[in-house]
Amino acid sequence: MSTAPLKRKAGAPKSLPPGALELVAARFRMLSEPMRLRLLDELRGGERTVTQLVEASGAGQANVSKHLGLLAEGGLVGRRKDGLKVYYFIADESLFELCDIVCGRLQKELAEKAAHFAG
């Protein structure tokens, strides 16, 4: 693990007040549930109905609806009604930047571990 001090990117906020830190922590908690990540990944391809998300995730309708409600409450997804159907869509595309950073880092770590054990 690196012992170098953390560097701020240009334009990054210098510090956050406690209230803002709570909002950041809440956003990370929202992303800490695998089912919610699965639903967000499914919505990455475009809007979907609850039924489509149930089929894609293999989870029950009540479970999917619960997680979609939390994601909507957190501002990560939006919903629109069309007749009897409710469509969910990504409301905050920036969350994929974070996911790409984390996934890219994990892939790099796995490759390094694989190389270590192979050599």
The top-level CATH class assigned to 20-92 is: mainly alpha
Contact 64, 71 (CB under 8 A): no
Contact 54, 18 (CB under 8 A): no
Instruction: Using the predicted structure, report yes or no on whether residue 50 has a pLDDT greater than 90.
Output: yes
For 77-92, what is each residue's pLDDT tens digit? 999 999 999 999 999 8
Give CA–CA dist 51/60, Å, rounded.
10
Contact 86, 80 (CB under 8 A): yes
Q: What is the pLDDT of residue 103?
A: 81
Q: Where are the domains of the chain?
A: 20-92
Give CA–CA dist 49/22, Å, rounded.
31
Instruction: Using the predicted structure, report yes or no on whether residue 7 has a pLDDT greater than 80.
Output: no
Question: Taking all residues of the chain, what is their mean pLDDT, rounded to a whole number?
Answer: 87
Q: What is the pLDDT of residue 1?
A: 46
